[in-house]
Structure 1
């Protein structure tokens, strides 16, 4: 077993609000390994999501039709409620970096300036960006960013493999992310491996106050990297195969999610003000209440998030502060979370039961719909 021998006395900072540090650890085998040290950030949800991804990989490997499919994982080690270590994904770079040249578009710069000048009400009101404005932005920034990236391969055979790997990884992560309710997929939260072209999803534990309108990220530049066929062909087939495995593994997936949801150290609350109050209690609790790693799951409440694929996010709270009424509400909400997960695995969308092909087709249409994309917050950058 390789152990830490020492840590080099220097670090680098990464982008982000909390400025995570990149440190280099020297192993007992003499090799240097990079690690990301994050503070003021709860990594327990990321750790559990990685465990769920590993379970999905096992399920995919058992099926002959999906044994070549997998979702990329990495190690996450929570050290406390607000700190932890994350494995550094060597050879990867955010997709947004590939597309950074598009940020120089005059129209996008003007839109970003206007977003910053307007008040919160104007910036976050419904339909603050029209579909027409979204299409205009698409025309302004150009496209084919990832397609140009794969164009460095001179031989057709050499280009075929990375395009296939990229398309398959996007398909698997899209379906798994939809079923598990993974959101906040902006261009800095999706990495691409420069060697294999597979994508890696990071920052899995963030709670967002505003529901997203799309089931996963399938914007124009994501599709451009799939080659001439786009979403047709490999992407659609891999989505369907992955959904078949997820449906056939109904018992395994619902069981592990149910165990996590009904864990007494979990809480799901509808009251944002109550969540904030309890979160303050957690942060000021000198006893340092010990939490087990838990699973943050997002779900849609029809009367509050009418759009299909919309998600409502919940903040974790301190179970030591909950009363009987809170516990009853927790059980009811956990049941709703589990019910929505079961509906997805059964193909139930908006009251109708869809086949695998029909469900995948609906998700692809929703994910690429300009009317839905234009309603996302500016930082999501739906025009990329």
Structure 2
């Protein structure tokens, strides 16, 4: 509560000097919270849904940047006109994604003419923790970039913007050119994907889960699953990159990104569950 009161007092003080900016920021936050908490039906999943007029009506906030845009830090804190893309409205519809809380994908129009795809989320996930972790990943990427050996290997983890507005609602930067790993491996139906194409004669994913959950000897059950559910991830690179040189470069980039992610996950795990010496 003390932090909340301190933030409110600080906001009041800043409002005396930057009143118009604070009012526009409040407008922006309000429409994103309404968007994240927009109620949808189960049959709307993977479909476009029209936005309510109260969300679509906000068209231009020239003092507020696009929240997921990358804006270089200005040491003078001036941020003059044209130094950042400001908010010029949202698209008329959103795509409802699959998930417990039905996150919505929306396009935000920037003053630079670009469309910024964003993901609005609400529910039990606290995006403040995600935002802190993305900041940490950015810091680790700085260390990797400053080290000669890791820089030569181009070790880094792809980060994205996370903007929490409340403990239960916020916006994430949508990363183009990506698909969920599970969608490639087992498909949306959990019985297709690469395992369906290449795992002829293997167990299906639902059977693997059932076998693991019902077995008393978990270790033996795990060995059974590994025997009857063979890896197929390597086919991704054979499907997507037909030229040998492209295949080699992309496969190497993937293995290095996994290595960097593994190193960072050790740090984050140790932060939550300290390892004994």
Under a length normalisation based on structure 1, what TM-score does the superposition of the two structures give? 0.43
Cα deviation, residue 130, structure 1: 2.0
Which of 223, 233, 242 in structure 2 is aligned with 1:135? Answer: 223
**Alpha-carbon distance in 2 for matches of 1:160, 1:14:** 33
Secondary structure of residue in 2 paired with 1:180: helix
Question: Aligned-pair distance for 1:49?
Answer: 0.6
Quote the Cα distance in structure 1 between the aligned partners of 2:105 and 2:207: 34
Q: In the TM superposition, what whole-angstrom CA distance separates every residue of 1:126-182 from its partner, at most 9, and x where no partner exists?
A: x85522221222232232x22111113333212111011000000010011012118
Distance 2:120 2:216 in 1: 37
Q: For 1:109, which of 206, 227, 242 is the aligned residue? A: 206
2:255 paired residue number = 167
Structure 1 gap segments, 5+ residues each: 116-121, 183-296, 300-336, 349-384
Q: Whose radius of gyration is greater, 1 or 2?
A: 2
- For 1:192, the equivalent position in structure 2 comes to none
Is the Cα contact below 8 Å between 1:60 and 1:70 reproduced in 2? yes
Aligned-residue Cα RMSD (Å) equals: 2.4
* Counterpart among 126, 140, 143 of residue 59 in structure 1: 143
1:295-329 Cα offsets, whole Å, 9 max, x none, are xx420xxxxxxxxxxxxxxxxxxxxxxxxxxxxxx
Deviation at 1:111, TM superposition (A): 4.6
User: Which stretches in structure 2 are left out of the alignment for 5+ residues?
Assistant: 1-83, 187-191
8 Å contact kept, 1:107–1:137: no
Please state how far the C-alpha of 1:43 moved relative to its aligned partner. Answer: 0.4
2:272 is the counterpart of 1:298 = yes
Paired residue secondary structure (1:56): helix
2:87 is the counterpart of 1:4:
yes
The CA distance in 1 between the partners of 2:259 and 2:90, in whole Å, is 38
- The structure-2 alpha-carbon separation of the partners of 1:59 and 1:128, relative to structure 1 and needing over 3 Å to count, comes to farther
Instruction: Could you list the structure 1 runs, at least 4 aligned residues long, displaced by more than 4 angstroms after superposition.
Output: 103-107
In the TM superposition, 1:8-87 aligns within 5 A as 8-40=91-123, 41-67=125-151, 68-87=154-173
